[in-house]
Amino acid sequence: MKKKSKLKKAIIIFGITFLAVVAVLTYFAGTIEYMLLPRVSVANIESGQISGEPVTEQGVCLVPNMSVVESDGIAYIFILYPREDNTAYIEEVNVQVRDRNNMYCEIKLDPTFTSYSVVYETSRDLVNGDKVVVEAN
Amino acid sequence: MKKLKKLKKLPKYILLAAIAAFFLFPVIYMLAMSVMTSEEVSRILDFSSDGFKSIDLIPQVFSLEQYYQVFFRRADYLLEFWNSIIITVPTVIGQTVVCALAAFAFGKLEFPGRDKLFFVYIILLILPTQVTLVPNYIVLNNMGLLNSFLAVILPGMFSAFGVCLLRQSVRYIPDAFIEAARMDGASYINIFLKIILPQIKGGLVTLFLLCFIDNYNLIEQPLAYFNDSEKYPLAVTMSEIGVNDAGIVFACGVMFMIPPLLIYYIGQDDVSSPFTLSDKG
Amino acid sequence: MFRKIIRFGFVFIITALLGILALWVPLNAITQIPNIRIQNRVESKSGLTVKEIADFLDEKVLSEVAFSADGEETEVKGRSVVPTAVNEDYFALQKFNLNGKNFTESDITDKSTKAIISETLARKLFFNKNAVGKTFEMNSKVYTVCAVFKEYEDIISRCSADGKDRVFIPYTGMDYAKLTVDTVMYSNTNDNIKITLLCSEDYSGTNLIQKNKVLQNFINILKAEAFILLATVVIKIIILITRQVIQLFKKEIKNRYFAEIIGNHKLYIFSRVLAVIAAAALLAVVFIVSDFEIYVLPYYMAEDNIFDIPHYISKIIEASQNGNSILIAGDTYYNNLYTLSFVISLFSAILFAFMIIVMYKQILCALKKLRKTGQK
């Protein structure tokens, strides 16, 4: 008999602990997700050319050299779409590299993206469509 | 002599153990697969190629990755777990209260049409839930309760099964107790609380257990009455999860399995069949 | 009473942490340090050029020899990196886990513009550690990443690294007639004595196989401590059981004969004798299977008398003086890792042994008090 009531007590305690742990994890789910998001640094996309001449075509702009990724002739950058509560999500956008010097890279991209910011540094791996947190420089 | 008796029990034990293993196999499989890595689970559940599929119970790498994903990274499964609890607990508590009162009325009180009404209740037992799904929907729509948790809780509270079960228990209490109490001037509520309830405790616990398991596994009512997919209980998501998120199915299943197990263990001692005579003088 | 529990818990937590540290630090170092020998170039000396050592390797047909030569620090996409010239055995010899394909011999002869980088650098350049196939420009040439390797991120490994991001390219891709070799790595086969002789002047050699054995010492010491604990417990149990049997005999021998006593209590005596034999056998098996050997570097061994303490002290002082005076060029990751791990393991092993004795005494005191209150 003693064994049974001890087992019952143990099970009740386990059940209450389980529910409490799940409640705490649900309550802090937002905080935990925020902690695990990658932290990125962004810079504004400036319209212009490296040579300093005024821009003639649409979509020609300057981005920091570190933000362009090239592979097999295709080049892309990560554009930041901000949302409220300090998170944002990123999108991979194909660009055409025209020129570069040691700080900036002149690219041609779709004019609809020129008002956004571009990612140049990250703390975790980025994939197209990821949610990220913008860190103030 | 003793050894012979023990030997005679052996084939019985072997048969029972085999049947128990057969029934427990899905649970053991789920527990074993829940400690594998997500890639291994996706590889095992990949039925696209023909050929012989073997059952691997021992993981190649023991990892708690699935539990980490379910508890820490996917908050939507935790929220649905709480949806399940929110749907089940009020339903079960309400059902116990309502059915105990109704059973007392049907068992011990005399009123015109008592037996005919009870016959209707027995017919309702035979009716499957799917038949009343559409009429229920229309009633709830007119009451404006669609898309809230009350849409599942309120119909669930009034179930015929509990009334029939508890009425059997109430019938076995001798009438002499109630007459003696009436002579001492007790009101009906006093009779119910002090005489009837303690004696049908076994039936109450049985009803509690059965209702919990029944309502915890509800799929059709939430699917029909809820519009937001955020309100779905975990049972509904578990039925669709194999397609989307095969990697963490098993840890989700283990989490889903824990509350009924705990409730069963706690109530196991008091479960009694309503057909035993209780002679507490 | 409450204070005692807190004190005991405090001691227990500290002992557990020290134990974990004493076990993890040498294990971490042993998994990272490969069983090879290294020759590191002394900073002030000129050393061999890449062409000299490549020709030497081809002439003597030696395999499993790797060398690396750091180039000038340059910039890729605004980040400073160090291009490092290596041959095709560099990654296989150190047993790096490459996500991708290693350099092949044809890559080196064709002067192909492939590069191997670490995951940290891949994340900085390409925002993702899966960077195989991506390209970048360095020193006005376009390189393709053919593999990515993982760097250890725990605190000891980070302190031993020198913080420079390296890009590994085949040595033919740089001006290798003039580049000086910084590190030569080779395994301990018989032929490779030629490398030791080749590099003896301007290079300082380290035998990492011996260093791995020294780190294994710490793990062996922990194993010995655990074994001593287990042996004490098992011996106490054996003494308890034999005392029980002897007491039984003492009680019964007044009334019955010896054989009668055994006949009456067959199961009792048999089970206890079996338990004693099993415990003793288990202890013997554990002792035989585990190895507790302590390895002393040959440099420190005394010639004739192994208990010659002043000799050891003088050798240690000499070694530390030598160690401080030599400045080594290039990547000294393994040497730093070994030194850090050695120091930390030494201190934690000593402190752990001390705390174990303290905890053992506390447990004995508590047990004695419990027995006294139980008897009362």
Annotated domain spans of chain A: 1-36, 39-134
Asked if C125 lies within 8 A of A64 by C-beta distance, the reply is: no
Distance from the Cα of A77 to chain B's closest Cα (Å) equals 27
| Alpha carbon C230 to chain centroid, angstroms | 25
Predicted local distance difference test score (pLDDT) of residue B20: 94
- Same-domain check for residues B34 and B139: no
Q: Determine the Cα–Cα distance for residues C67 and A13; give it in Å rounded to an integer.
A: 62
- Same-domain check for residues B156 and B255: yes
Q: CB of A103 within 8 A of CB of A65?
A: yes
B280 within a domain of the structure (yes/no):
no
Q: Which residues of chain A have pLDDT under 70?
A: 1-2, 136-137
Q: What share of chain B is helix, strand, coil (3-state, %, to 5)?
A: 75, 0, 25
Q: Among partner residues C75, C125, C134, which is closest to A102 by beta-carbon distance?
A: C75
B178 within a domain of the structure (yes/no):
yes
- Same-domain check for residues B104 and B208: yes
B275 within a domain of the structure (yes/no):
no
Asked if B75 lies within 8 A of A14 by C-beta distance, the reply is: no
- Domain made up of A39-134: CATH architecture: Beta Barrel (2.40)
Q: What share of chain C is helix, strand, coil (3-state, %, to 5)?
A: 55, 15, 30
Per-residue pLDDT of chain C (376 residues; tens, 9 = 90+): 788 888 888 888 998 899 898 889 999 988 888 888 888 888 777 778 888 888 888 887 777 888 888 888 888 887 889 988 888 888 888 888 888 888 888 888 888 888 999 888 888 888 888 888 888 888 888 888 999 988 888 888 888 888 888 899 888 888 878 888 888 888 877 677 777 777 777 788 888 888 888 888 888 888 888 888 888 888 888 888 888 888 888 888 888 888 887 888 888 888 888 988 998 898 888 888 877 777 777 777 766 666 777 887 888 888 777 766 677 777 888 888 888 888 898 888 889 888 888 888 888 888 888 888 877 6
> What is the 3-class SS of C221-237, one letter each residue?
HHHHHHHHHHHHHHHHH
B1 within a domain of the structure (yes/no):
no
Q: Name every chain A residue with its beta carbon within 8 A of the beta carbon of B255.
A: 22
Number of domains chain B is built from: 2
Q: Determine the Cα–Cα distance for residues C171 and C117; give it in Å rounded to an integer.
A: 15
Asked if B78 lies within 8 A of A22 by C-beta distance, the reply is: yes
- Same-domain check for residues B20 and B126: no
Q: Name every chain A residue with its beta carbon within 8 A of the beta carbon of C77.
A: 65-66, 68
Distance from the Cα of B251 to chain A's closest Cα (Å) equals 14
Closest CA to B86 of A18, A19, A31, A24: A19
User: Which of B63, B91, B106 is the C-terminal boundary of a domain?
Assistant: B63
> What does DSSP assign to residue A53?
P
Annotated domain spans of chain C: 2-31+212-375, 46-201
**And the tokens for B100?**
């105990």
**Chains within contact range of chain A (3+ C-beta pairs < 8 Å):** B, C
B281 within a domain of the structure (yes/no):
no
CB atoms within 10 A of CB B66: 22
The string of DSSP codes covering C122-133 is HHHHHSSS--TT
Q: Name every chain C residue with its beta carbon within 8 A of the beta carbon of A64.
A: 78
Give yes or no for C153 touching A (CB within 8 A).
Answer: no
Suggest the residue from A40, A63, A65, A99 to mutate for an interface test with chain C (most C CBs closer than 10 A): A65
Q: What is the pTM of this model?
A: 0.69
**And the tokens for A125?**
């791996």
- Same-domain check for residues B37 and B134: no
Predicted local distance difference test score (pLDDT) of residue C303: 67
**Nearby residues of C336 by Cβ (< 8 Å), 6 or more positions away:** C159, C160, C161
- Same-domain check for residues B118 and B181: yes
- Same-domain check for residues B37 and B83: no
Q: Which amino acid is at B198?
A: P
Boundaries of domain holding B186: 75-270
**pLDDT, tens digit (0-9, with 9 covering 90-100), for C15-56:** 889 989 888 999 998 888 888 888 888 877 777 888 888 888
Q: Among partner residues A12, A22, A30, which is closest to B266 by beta-carbon distance?
A: A12
Cα separation values, B148 from A110, A132, B76, B221, C80, Å: 46, 34, 18, 12, 59
B2 within a domain of the structure (yes/no):
no
Q: Which residues of chain B have pLDDT under 70?
A: 1, 242-244, 271-281
Strand partners, A90: A80
Q: Among partner residues A8, A18, A26, which is closest to B78 by beta-carbon distance?
A: A26
- Same-domain check for residues B17 and B91: no
**And the tokens for C249?**
């005999």
**Nearby residues of C132 by Cβ (< 8 Å), 6 or more positions away:** C99, C100, C145, C146, C147, C148
| Alpha carbon C217 to chain centroid, angstroms | 10
B215 within a domain of the structure (yes/no):
yes
Suggest the residue from A63, A66, A100 to mutate for an interface test with chain C (most C CBs closer than 10 A): A66
Give yes or no for C132 touching A (CB within 8 A).
Answer: no
- Same-domain check for residues B44 and B167: no
- Same-domain check for residues B115 and B40: no
Give yes or no for A42 touching C (CB within 8 A).
Answer: no
- Same-domain check for residues B39 and B81: no
Predicted local distance difference test score (pLDDT) of residue B279: 47
Asked if A36 lies within 8 A of B73 by C-beta distance, the reply is: yes
Which CATH number do you get for residue B150?
1.10.3720.10
Long-range contacts of B21-27 (CB under 8 A, 24+ apart): B27/B257
